[in-house]
Amino acid sequence: MFPFLCPLCGEALQGVPGGLRCPGGHRFDRAREGYVHLLPVGQKHSKAPGDDKGMVAARRAFLDRGWYSPLRDALCDLAVRYAPGPAPAVLDAGCGEGFYTAAVRDALLADGRSPAAAGIDISKFSVQKAAKRYPGISFAVASAYRLPVAAESVDLLLNVFSPLAIDEFRRVLRPGGAYLYVVPAARHLWQLKEVLYDRPYPNEERETPYEGFAYQEILPVSFTVHLPAQADIRALFQMTPYYWKTPRQGAARLAALETLACEMAFHIHVFRREAAP
- Express each pLDDT in 72-127 by its tens digit: 999 999 999 999 999 999 999 999 999 999 999 999 999 999 999 999 999 999 99
pTM of the model: 0.95
CA distances from 203 to 116, 187, 266 (A): 34, 7, 10
Q: Is the pLDDT of residue 274 over 80?
A: yes
Supply the pLDDT for residue 95.
97
Supply the pLDDT for residue 47.
66
Supply the pLDDT for residue 42.
67
- Express each pLDDT in 196-254 by its tens digit: 999 999 999 999 999 999 999 999 999 999 999 999 999 999 999 999 889 999 999 99
Residues 143, 122: Cα–Cα separation, whole Å:
5
Supply the pLDDT for residue 48.
67
